Amino acid sequence: MSHAGGYSAASHLRWQECLPWVMGVAAFFLLPEYLSLGARILVFILFALSLDLILGYAGIITLGHSAFFGVGAYVAGILGAKLGIGDPLLQLAAAAVAAGLLGLLTGAVILRTTGLTLLMLTLAITSLCLEIANKATHLTGGADGLSGIVVDPILGLFRFDLFGKTAYLYVLLVLFIGWFLVRRLIYSPFGASLTGMRENTARMHAVGAPVYGRLVLVYGFSALLAGVAGALLMQTNQFVGLNFLGFESSGELLVMLILGGVGRIYGAFVGPVVYLIAQDQLAKAYPEYWYLGIGVMLVLVVLFARGGVLALFDRLLHKLRRGAT
Amino acid sequence: MSTAALETSALCKRFGALTVAEDIHFRLEPGARHALIGPNGAGKTTFVNMLTGRLAPSSGRILLGGEDVTRMSQRERVRRGLGRTFQINTLFRSLSALDNVALAVAERLNVAPRLFRSAASQRMVVEQSLAVLEQLALADDAQQRVADLPYGKQRLVEIAIALGMQPKVLLLDEPAAGVPSMETHRILDVLDKLPSEIAILIIEHDMDLVFRFARRITVLTQGAVLTEGTPAEISADQRVKQVYLGEGS
């Protein structure tokens, strides 16, 4: 079940696809002391999903996806801290629009290039955003970060509580909507044409596809999702710092996606779970060396589990089935 | 004279001092079976790339069905019925054979921009794609990943994608390239069965294939048209023999 989409793929929901949601709800009841880590994981799943859409499906190589994550977080944060707009859904909508527009605008410029040039340009845009956030201290708080952000109760009813219960369910719901849209997109004719562009741009041109326009469109949508993810993390922490924007967080995201598996939707679910839980546990056990553990994990995956943890599962299942017959 | 399916007049391409296409006047009649031959480096691929819009000519005009397309993008030419295949396989390798064709069909039917219905439910696209695969005896391989197919079949998928576009003019760039000579007859069988209303220009090195398939042949050398004629005229032409069999003979 690699979820490649396309005209030969059955698009109906398989039972395995309910697992993440069952586990997500179960975790809410069974692991109440881990809800803030849980919400963080859910945010990064949404973020990874947005990256998978452009990297795994459309084949756009980027190290600058944190630009949209950060812009979403800052826009929502500035609304809450400086403009007195505390409504979380309004903040989310503003973040989505801002990040989506930035994605369309920058995409229109940089998606005329490919390969390493494109990679460098995505880095450049992230660095620009980072520098702007660093310098515009009156708006962003600069290197100290933006705090004192007001986030009102959702719909005026559900207050963000100290234990992170509201935050967790809120993020889970938004992730569900994001997942639904991404899945629809991937199985659509548009999604099929994205994989076509990943597989062979020259041929897509030759069959008359408007390659550039479609890449810009999907880049904008992906940026929008990343912006929503950024705003969600801001709302659950009520803080935004420069680390939201830096290209380190783009790299970290890429590691998560590779760990889980690129271009298969659920790799974006598995990766952040593995990465952030490992980070949490390793940081407790070896506060100074936890990054080493992450590194070893990544090396192991790249050496022995090409295609990520999910591909490993697929191969194991395949072997088991063959052994059974 | 009727309108040509494809026509070039005084087509030139220069890279600095190097002229790779010089004053090419060429006519492809409706329903033609026309071959373009010439030794390596004669400028065949350059010519094709100008026809499809991958390369802009330095001067001259290209008419598709009587309409000037010289300044049009690849996409606009495709929309007007110009299809092509590639000398080197240019496929969607990790996708199924069906998907390879369907991507072309979806563009033609303008289904590809749809965002919310699933691709698999687009019955027009799937049915027409399967019909093309059937036409090329690839129906059994529809669900196979193209990268897993034997090379000869990959060459057929290359043609299938182009047929999915339902072109009025089809440029076949060495369809038998890399196929062992024992198997070229399979490619030829497929070519023979192509709908007669498609005007076909084939660029080919394999002379057996050219002489069996084409009813007209244009010979290109050093970027210019050397001569054009029926297969009989071309095989009798001393200059063509010289170009092909070496200067000394």
pLDDT digits (tens, 9 = 90+) for B191-202: 988 999 999 999
**Which is more confident, B142 or A290?**
B142
The answer to whether B131 and B147 have CB atoms below 8 angstroms apart is no
Both B134 and B202 in a single domain? no
User: Which of A194, A198, A207, A222 to substitute to test the interface with B, most B CBs within 10 Å?
Assistant: A207
Mean pLDDT over each residue of chain A, to the nearest integer: 91
- What residue of A is the nearest CA neighbor of B51? A206
Q: What are phi and psi of A323, to 5 degrees?
A: -65, -30
**Regarding beta strands B67-68 and B59-64, do their DSSP bridges make them parallel or antiparallel, or are they unpaired?**
antiparallel
Question: What crossing angle do the helices spanning A88-110 and A115-135 adopt, rounded to 10°?
Answer: 140
Q: Over the stretch B200-219, which tens digit does the pLDDT of each residue have?
A: 999 988 888 899 899 999 99
The reply to whether A195 falls in a domain is yes
Assess contact for A27 and A38: CB atoms under 8 A: yes
Is residue A177 a part of any domain in this protein? yes
Q: Which residues of A touch B166 (CB under 8 A)?
A: none
Q: Tell me the pairing of strands B216-221 and B224-229.
A: antiparallel
Contact indicator for B212, B29 with CB cutoff of 8 Å: no
Question: Quick check: B83 and B169 in contact, CB under 8 A?
Answer: yes
Return d(Cα A301, Cα A299) in angstroms, integer.
5
A128/A121 Cα distance (integer angstroms): 10
Domain-terminating residue out of B145, B166, B187: B166
Same domain, B64 and B179: yes
Q: Is B114's CB within 8 Å of A189's CB?
A: yes
Query: Using CA of residue A149, residue A155, residue A157, residue A158, what is the dihedral sign?
Result: negative
Task: Say yes or no: B71 and B8 in one domain.
Answer: yes
Gap from A264 CA to chain B (nearest CA, Å):
14
Same-domain pairing of B171 and B72: yes
Look over chain B and give the mean of its residue pLDDT values, rounded to a whole number.
90
pLDDT digit string, tens, across residues A231-243: 999 999 989 999 9
Host domain of residue A132:
16-324
Domain boundary among B166, B185, B201: B166
> What mean pLDDT comes out for the span A303-320?
85
- Of B135, B166, B197, the domain-final residue: B166
Query: What pLDDT does residue A219 have?
Result: 98
Does the pLDDT at position B247 exceed 60?
Answer: no
Considering the domain architecture, whether residues B7 and B72 belong to the same structural domain is answered as: yes
B171 and B160 in one domain? no
State mean pLDDT over A288-295.
Answer: 85
Q: Which long-range contacts (CB under 8 A, 24 or more apart) does A196-201 make?
A: A196/B92, A196/B95, A196/B99, A196/B103, A197/A58, A197/A59, A198/A57, A198/A58, A198/A59, A198/A263, A199/A59, A199/B91, A199/B92, A199/B93, A199/B94, A199/B95, A200/B90, A200/B91, A200/B92, A200/B93, A201/A114
For residue range B78-121, list pLDDT tens digits in order: 999 999 999 999 999 999 999 999 999 999 999 998 888 888 88
- Taking every pair of Cα atoms in chain A, the longest distance, rounded to a whole number of angstroms, is 68
Q: Is the Cβ of B98 closer than 8 Å to some Cβ of chain A?
A: yes
Residue ranges making up the domain that contains B44: 1-81+167-249
The answer to whether residue A9 is domain-embedded is no
pLDDT for position B131 = 95
Whether residues B53 and B98 fall in one domain: no
The pLDDT score that the predictor gives to residue B248 is 44
Whether A200 is covered by a domain: the verdict is yes
**Structural domains of chain B, count:** 2
Residues B154 and B182 in one domain: no
> Residue A130 has what pLDDT?
94
Between β-strands B199-203 and B169-173, what pairing exists: parallel, antiparallel or unpaired?
Answer: parallel
A180: domain CATH number is 1.10.3470
pTM for this structure?
Answer: 0.91
Q: Is residue B208 part of a domain?
A: yes
Dig out the tokens for A13 from the structure. Answer: 């929901």
A6 belongs to a structural domain:
no
User: CB B95 to CB A196 under 8 A?
Assistant: yes
Q: Is the residue at B228 inside a domain?
A: yes
CB proximity B110 to A under 8 Å: no
Q: Would you place residue B245 in the very low, low, confident or very high pLDDT band (cuts 50, 70, 90)?
A: low
Contact residues, chain A, for B80 at CB < 8 Å: none
Q: Tell me the CATH number at B188.
A: 3.40.50.300
Can you name the residues that pair with A312 across neighbouring β-strands?
none
For chain A, what is the domain count?
A: 1
Domain annotation covers residue A297? yes
Q: Are B35 and B153 found together in one domain?
A: no
- Do residue B64 and residue B102 come from a single domain? no
Q: Is the dihedral of CA A59, A98, A138, A146 positive or negative?
A: negative
Residues B135 and B192 in one domain: no
CB atoms within 10 A of CB A116: 9
Instruction: Write out chain A residues lying below 8 Å of B90, CB-based.
Output: 200, 202-203, 206
| Contact assignment for B95 to A5 by CB distance below 8 Å | no
Beta-bridge mates of residue B169? B82, B199
Q: What pLDDT does B249 receive?
A: 41
Residue A265 has, within 13 A of its CA and on its CB side, a CA count of 22
Residue A215's CB is within 10 A of a number of other CB atoms, namely 23
Q: What is the pLDDT of residues A120-130, one digit of tens each?
A: 999 999 999 99
pLDDT in the model for residue A325: 61
Residues B161 and B175 in one domain: no
